[in-house]
Structure 1
Amino acid sequence: MIHPQIPLILTALLFSAFFSGMEMAFMAASKLQLELQEKQNSLTGRIITHFSTRKARLTATLLIGNVFALVLFGIGMARSLYPILTAYLPASWQYPAVFIIIQTLVTAILALTVAEFIPRSLFMIRANTMLNVLAVPLLISYYILYPVVFLVVGAIRLVVVKLLKMEFSEEKPVFGLTDVDQFMKKSLYQHETEKVPEVDARIFHNALEFRTVKVRECMVPRTEIEAIEISEPINALRQAFVQTGHSKILVYQETIDNVVGYCHQLAMFQKPTDISSILTPIIAVPETMLASELFVKFVAEHRSIALVVDEFGGTSGLVTTEDLLEEIIGEINDEFDEESLLEQELQPGIYLFSARQEIDYLNDKYNLALPVGDYETLGGLILEMHGDIPNEGTIIQAPPFTITVLSMDENRINTVQLVRQAELTAED
């Protein structure tokens, strides 16, 4: 015959496990996936989003439900253990205090194991799945407990606002930058066969990283800027537009460190007689400025080009709207980009590269693990390792790599040969 308290005990344990597990599931779930479900008009997604934006009500519902369940569990355990202890405990031990201690220990161990540790572990592993499956039962529990929840939340609001003089708001965003970043990183490395939301995870991830990117990481370097002296004849400017294919040409006075503006090719239709008559002012920004701040400045001031200056006020480079967008959506072939940069694998472990190739790109494509630092390109790495401007034929040892400078253009490194010794040794 089943003990009359067994149904009460099992029911109370089940509800306690439910409330404890749901609390853990809300903490461990991917908020962005839940928001995407809500946007897809999913019932469970709308329910979970409703609770996620009302943390106080959610917390009160889960805690109150868990407390009620544990109280009922405690009552059931006390009633079921009392006759057992009376029948089997030695007469010398049958004191109220002993009964209370034994009942408390057994009840606590069972509750912690079955109603806390096990459900929390399971709900943490499958957080989003559990939330989707149990969203409706949670909503039903909320409406059943609503009178008590309403009183508890009201009391908390009163204490926080009136006594502690703090702001109390139930409305919270479903997810923040941290949630999005974690979701995107997971999506980038998720197995191809798994079903994932149809979003470009790479672009989202780049957009999150964009908030830390400096202008110097996006700019066209000083040595690659096409510019003209302001005293040059207008025909020289016209020829510069034809030869470079650019729509904008920087204009300087005496030296490239004294840029006075730029000229747009459309201004040539005005039939100007000199460069200064069609000169457009250009904004200057420090190379340490955040790219996101410059992008906002471009949009607010309706600009698309800026001069980048170093700490001494000298010209460091040039940056355009396209350069900033490339940090988010990838390579854009704009007018300031070269057709292509040399990259060739002659044989396993031996490569020919343009010194302008970015370190991150080479590491990703060729799995090189080149050292990173305060430089963006292979040329920057060579200058960092060599400590001076190299000559043609200069060999730099950067174990396990041997880098040979093959060609130079005045002070600029053009082409290099990179040898990875580990692969050559393996082949031999």
Structure 2
Amino acid sequence: MDSIPLPLLFGILGILIVLSGGFSSSETALMTLNRYRLRHLARAGHRGARRAEKLLQRPDRLIGIILLGNNFVNIAASSIATLIALRLGGEGALAAATGLLTLTILIFAEVAPKTLAALRPERVAFPAAFVLGPLLRLLYPLVWLTNFLANGLLRGLGVSPGEGGQSALSREELRTVVNEAGAMIPQRHQRMLLSILDLDKATVDDIMVPRNEVVGIDLGDDWSRITEQVAGSEYTRLPVFEGGIDNIRGVLHVRRVLTAMLDGELTRERLLEHVRDPYFVPESTPLHRQMLNFQAERRRIGLVVDEYGEFLGLVTLEDILEEIVGEFTTDPAEAVSDIHRQADGSYLAAGSASVRELKRLLDWDLPADGPKTLNGLILEHLETIPESGTSLLIDGHPVTVMQTEENRVKVARLERRVRPRESGLDGAD
């Protein structure tokens, strides 16, 4: 060894430090890769992504070959540094060489390479995969022996080496991914994706049209009244009932009888021929399930009933789609709402305003299984029908009843949440 020139020893030491940095950076890069993006690139035919994905299928082998290589070059670098120290300063220089080598490896072979790999994992991982793959095949017996001993130790500690792996994203984790997508997904599309994730949190009774607002055809009315209602209806489908809304005969597709009505050939009997049997929906059906049910039944409107079979209201496919994409209007600013923001920052809301919409707009923290309308929420808190001017706090928000009508709240004013001031913080400059 004494015959080896010092410049050559320094060159070998530099190469070993570079190799150590390569192993360290490849480990960090491969372990911090976005697995879903990696899978996408691999399916798209990216060679480096395919090799990296194959290596990550057995992380124990991957870590084994990286650590074998890293420890080998680090030990070799330590030996070379020792030779150089003995050549230059004898045994007295060994301590200085050890400290200098430790600092050099820490900076150039650990911190800097791993930081680069964490910031640019794909740029490091994909080229590294072309080297680590053949190296793993070359040293496979040694890697297998190392993994066999390490896995045996893990089993002795009660840990199965095969457990864990790539698990599927939970709903809340997927929500975080969508929120952090930034400019990669337009904000409107983000809202739609989040709305889809929220579909299973809402049921049909959260968005249904309540029975007192249902517009339908009463076969007990005069025929002139019925034809006038059919001709002037703003809805494509109307429920048909007889002798009261609880006795529903079915649902009429208005367009199917317009031609006969214009020709003067529409009669009660012919109208009933176009009435389709009612499709009843339990009130507790989740929205995502009901959307699939509409598709399976080839329906667009359902009649919501409670556990006793009492008619509660109706829900349409459009109502569910609006929960995802928003109101179906040409201009979102023109969307009809029961909640209107005032100049002073407060809101005027109709008693029929949905609690679900209030929670979304005002960030109210209310249970999902409580009242579905603002009127029901106020009545639940007061346990009586309030008079105009009555004020109360709901989830810290001041609510003032502005107008009542018979046995319900018609309009209420909602203000910002009251936040108690922290003593000793006000008035200090």
Q: Same fold judged by TM-score > 0.5?
A: yes
C-alpha contact 1:403 1:419 (8 A) present in aligned 2: yes
Output the amino acid matched with 1:249.
L
C-alpha contact 1:395 1:402 (8 A) present in aligned 2: yes
Q: 2:308: which partner in 1? A: 312
- The 1:323–1:410 alpha-carbon spacing in structure 2 relative to 1, beyond 3 Å, is same
Superposition TM-score, scaled by structure 2 size: 0.69
- The 1:384–1:185 alpha-carbon spacing in structure 2 relative to 1, beyond 3 Å, is farther
Output the amino acid matched with 1:24.
M
Separation (CA, whole Å) in 1 of partners of 2:294 and 2:19: 61
Output the amino acid matched with 1:130.
P
Q: How many residues align?
A: 381
- The 1:253–1:149 alpha-carbon spacing in structure 2 relative to 1, beyond 3 Å, is farther
The one of 322, 325, 340 equivalent to 1:326 is: 322
Separation (CA, whole Å) in 2 of partners of 1:227 and 1:61: 68
**1:87 and 2:91 matched:** yes
Report the CA distance between 1:9 and its aligned residue: 3.3
Q: 2:124: which partner in 1? A: 134
- The 1:219–1:51 alpha-carbon spacing in structure 2 relative to 1, beyond 3 Å, is farther
Report the CA distance between 1:323 and its aligned residue: 0.9
Q: 1:15: which partner in 2? A: 22
Report the CA distance between 1:10 and its aligned residue: 0.1
SS at match of 2:245: strand
Separation (CA, whole Å) in 2 of partners of 1:140 and 1:416: 67
Report the CA distance between 1:244 and its aligned residue: 4.3
- The 1:311–1:261 alpha-carbon spacing in structure 2 relative to 1, beyond 3 Å, is same
The one of 268, 277, 301 equivalent to 1:273 is: 268
Superposition pairs for residues 84-233 of structure 1, below 5 Å? 87-88=91-92, 123-124=117-118, 126=119, 129-131=120-122, 133-145=123-135, 147-148=137-138, 180-187=174-181, 190=182, 196=184, 200-233=189-222
The one of 216, 228, 233 equivalent to 1:239 is: 228
CA offset digits 1:69-115 (Å, max 9, x no partner)? 3223223324544786992499xxxxxxxxxxxx9x99999978876
SS at match of 1:256: coil
Q: 1:302: which partner in 2? A: 298
SS at match of 1:405: strand
Superposition TM-score, scaled by structure 1 size: 0.69
Output the amino acid matched with 1:387.
E
Q: 1:385: which partner in 2? A: 381
Report the CA distance between 1:53 and its aligned residue: 7.4
Output the amino acid matched with 1:207.
I
Output the amino acid matched with 2:184.
V
Q: Which moved more, 1:297-306 or 1:235-244?
A: 235-244
Report the CA distance between 1:181 and its aligned residue: 3.1
Output the amino acid matched with 2:348.
L
Report the CA distance between 1:288 and its aligned residue: 1.8
Report the CA distance between 1:66 and its aligned residue: 3.7
Report the CA distance between 1:207 and its aligned residue: 2.3
Gaps of 5+ in 1: 91-102, 160-167
**1:64 and 2:68 matched:** no
C-alpha contact 1:222 1:315 (8 A) present in aligned 2: yes
**1:415 and 2:415 matched:** no
SS at match of 2:308: coil
C-alpha contact 2:30 2:125 (8 A) present in aligned 1: no
- The 1:201–1:75 alpha-carbon spacing in structure 2 relative to 1, beyond 3 Å, is same
Separation (CA, whole Å) in 1 of partners of 2:168 and 2:416: 48
Q: 1:395: which partner in 2? A: 391
Report the CA distance between 1:420 and its aligned residue: 4.4
RMSD: 4.7
Identity of aligned residues (%): 21
Separation (CA, whole Å) in 2 of partners of 1:212 and 1:400: 24
- The 1:280–1:310 alpha-carbon spacing in structure 2 relative to 1, beyond 3 Å, is same
- The 1:329–1:256 alpha-carbon spacing in structure 2 relative to 1, beyond 3 Å, is same
CA offset digits 1:271-328 (Å, max 9, x no partner)? 2324543321122222221211211122222211111222332222211111111121
CA offset digits 1:135-154 (Å, max 9, x no partner)? 5413422553363598889x
**1:290 and 2:286 matched:** yes
CA offset digits 1:21-58 (Å, max 9, x no partner)? 113322xx3735x677789x7x8x66436644774167
CA offset digits 1:387-412 (Å, max 9, x no partner)? 34444444334475432323344444
C-alpha contact 1:216 1:288 (8 A) present in aligned 2: yes
- The 1:144–1:226 alpha-carbon spacing in structure 2 relative to 1, beyond 3 Å, is same
Output the amino acid matched with 1:306.
G
Q: 2:159: which partner in 1? A: none
SS at match of 2:57: helix
Separation (CA, whole Å) in 2 of partners of 1:386 and 1:50: 66
C-alpha contact 2:49 2:126 (8 A) present in aligned 1: no
- The 1:35–1:255 alpha-carbon spacing in structure 2 relative to 1, beyond 3 Å, is farther
Q: 1:100: which partner in 2? A: none
Q: Which has the larger radius of gyration?
A: 2
Separation (CA, whole Å) in 1 of partners of 2:127 and 2:102: 26
- The 1:262–1:371 alpha-carbon spacing in structure 2 relative to 1, beyond 3 Å, is same
Separation (CA, whole Å) in 2 of partners of 1:89 and 1:172: 49
Q: 2:263: which partner in 1? A: none
Separation (CA, whole Å) in 2 of partners of 1:414 and 1:213: 24
Separation (CA, whole Å) in 2 of partners of 1:203 and 1:304: 21
Q: 2:74: which partner in 1? A: 73
Report the CA distance between 1:225 and its aligned residue: 1.4
C-alpha contact 1:262 1:281 (8 A) present in aligned 2: yes
